[in-house]
C-alpha cells in the first residue's frame, strides 16, 4: 500500500529564512513545526524535506557543512519525538553555481525532480500527499510531481503574495495543517532506521544534475 507524505520546504517553513542558513547558531525553528511533524508521524505520513540549497553551489558553504547542519537539525526533531524520514536537496544553480554546480538541472524547484525521486524511493501516494512551501516554486514543483494538496505558508504581514487558485491554498499558521493529521491518525508504523551521514550516490547525482538525499 502506498504511503502518504508531508513534503516540507526547509528555509521559510521548517526554520526562519534568514539567508543561507547552515549553522545551528543561526537556525530559528518555526512555531509549531515540531507539532506538525509529530502529527504527521502519528498519522502514518512520511515526512520529507525538499530543499534548494544553492548556497553549496555558490560556494557560501560546503557540502560537508550542509551535511553536518542537517544531521544536527534531524537530531533536534528526534529529541522532540518528531521524525523526518528523508531529506532531498539540490545544490545547483543555473547561473551562479561554481564548477560542477553550475547546472540547469531537473531537481532545483520549480522542477519536480526531488519530489519524483522521493515518490520512487518511498513508494508514495502523491495525489493524497501534502506540500508546504513559502514560494510559488515550491508549489509549482509539487503540482508537476502530482502532489494533490499544496499550501503556501505566508505568515502574518506577508498576505500580499498573490496565489493562483489552481496552484494551492494559503495558510498563515502551520497549525492550520493539524486537522489533516488528526482525522487520519493511526498506529504509527514501525520506526525505520534514521538517516545516516552518508549521502547516497553523491558523485553520480551531482554530475547528472539529479537530487541527492540523506537516507
pLDDT at residue 165, as a whole number: 84
Query: Cell numbers at residue 145, please?
Result: 510531481
Strands 212-214 and 86-90: antiparallel
CA distance linking residue 21 with residue 54, whole number of Å: 11
Q: Is 9 a catalytic residue?
A: yes
Q: Residues in the chain, how many?
A: 215
Best CA proximity match to 43, nearest among 182, 151, 179, 149: 182
CA distance linking residue 34 with residue 18, whole number of Å: 19
pLDDT at residue 206, as a whole number: 41
Q: What is the DSSP letter of 173?
A: -
Query: Cell numbers at residue 1, please?
Result: 500500500
pLDDT at residue 157, as a whole number: 62
The Cβ of residue 213 has, within 10 Å, a number of other Cβ atoms equal to 22
Query: Of 9, 125, 134, 138, which residue is the catalytic one?
Result: 9
- Read off the pLDDT of residues 54-102 as tens digits, 9 standing for 90 and up: 999 999 999 999 999 999 999 999 999 999 999 999 999 999 999 999 9
Cα-based angle 131, 53, 27 (whole degrees, multiple of 5): 85
Q: Which residues of the chain have pLDDT under 70?
A: 156-160, 185-215
The Cβ of residue 65 has, within 10 Å, a number of other Cβ atoms equal to 14
Which domains does the chain show, CATH number per domain?
5-214 (3.40.50.1000)
pLDDT at residue 213, as a whole number: 62
Amino acid at each position: 500500500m502506498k504511503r502518504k507524505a508531508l513534503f516540507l520546504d526547509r528555509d521559510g517553513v521548517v526554520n526562519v529564512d534568514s539567508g543561507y542558513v547552515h549553522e545551528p547558531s543561526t537556525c530559528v525553528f518555526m512555531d509549531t513545526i515540531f507539532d506538525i511533524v509529530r502529527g504527521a508521524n502519528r498519522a502514518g505520513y512520511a515526512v520529507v524535506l525538499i530543499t534548494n540549497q544553492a548556497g553549496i553551489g555558490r560556494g557560501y558553504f560546503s557540502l560537508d557543512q550542509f551535511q553536518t547542519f542537517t544531521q544536527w537539525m534531524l537530531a533536534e526533531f528526534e529529541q522532540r519525538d518528531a521524525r523526518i524520514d528523508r531529506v532531498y536537496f539540490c545544490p545547483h544553480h543555473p547561473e551562479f553555481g561554481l564548477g560542477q554546480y553550475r547546472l540547469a538541472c531537473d531537481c532545483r524547484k520549480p522542477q519536480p525532480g526531488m519530489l519524483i525521486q522521493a515518490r520512487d524511493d518511498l513508494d508514495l501516494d502523491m495525489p493524497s500527499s501534502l506540500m508546504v512551501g513559502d514560494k510559488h516554486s515550491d508549489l509549482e514543483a509539487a503540482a508537476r510531481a502530482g502532489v494533490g494538496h499544496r499550501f503556501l505558508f505566508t505568515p502574518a504581514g506577508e498576505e500580499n503574495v498573490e496565489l493562483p487558485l489552481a496552484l494551492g491554498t494559503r495558510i498563515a499558521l502551520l497549525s492550520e495543517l493539524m486537522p489533516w493529521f488528526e482525522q487520519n491518525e493511526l498506529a504509527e508504523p514501525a520506526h525505520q532506521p534514521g538517516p545516516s551521514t552518508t549521502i547516497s550516490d553523491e558523485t553520480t547525482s551531482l554530475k547528472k544534475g539529479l537530487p541527492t538525499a540523506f537516507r
